[in-house]
Homo-oligomer: A and B are copies of this chain.
Amino acid sequence: MKELINTTTFRVRFSEVDSLRIVWHGNYLKYFEDGRDAWEAQYGLNSLEVYEKYGLLAPLVKTNIEFKYPLRYNETGLIETTFINSPAAKVIFRYKIFNADRTQLKVTGETVQVFMDTENILQLNTPPFFEEWKRKMKLL
């Protein structure tokens, strides 16, 4: 099966670093979001559009993160975002954050999103637009 992977980079801001001179751990969720946004742009899924066209939101319900090595101020991080295809009505991504030249794996993680309509009702079945997208991507 084809893997849908995006690679993008980000720069560590001074305001993202803590008093140990390393990125404060919660900020890696911002970099995961950078990865997800770049992935969406590459593979033609757009959460704003999904909301406007289909009235569906995709809130996070779960995340886990492993911090192996820290990033520091002004460093460039490289984030690799992989879509994990699932039969459930979920959107799952795995993330790997490396240093700029990709010689050291710094942080790994996963996020799980579900679909909810505008009345906050959880969608138990994969929404049609998502099935269609999966077919186009040869994931079904």
**A residues engaging B (CB < 8 A)?**
11, 13-15, 17-22, 24-27, 29-30, 33-34, 37, 48, 57, 59-68, 70, 73-74
Contact = CB atoms under 8 A, between A and B. Distances in A.
A50 B94 CA distance: 35
A52 to B, nearest CB: 12
Given A57-B20, A62-B65, A66-B61, A13 B27 contact: no
Main secondary structure of the interface of A (DSSP, over half): mixed
Contact of A25 (B11, B17, B60, B73): B60
Identical copies of this chain, number: 4
25 contacts: A13-B30, A13-B37, A14-B33, A15-B18, A15-B24, A15-B29, A15-B30, A18-B18, A19-B19, A19-B20, A19-B21, A19-B73, A20-B57, A20-B59, A25-B29, A25-B59, A26-B27, A26-B30, A59-B67, A59-B70, A60-B67, A61-B68, A62-B65, A62-B67, A63-B64
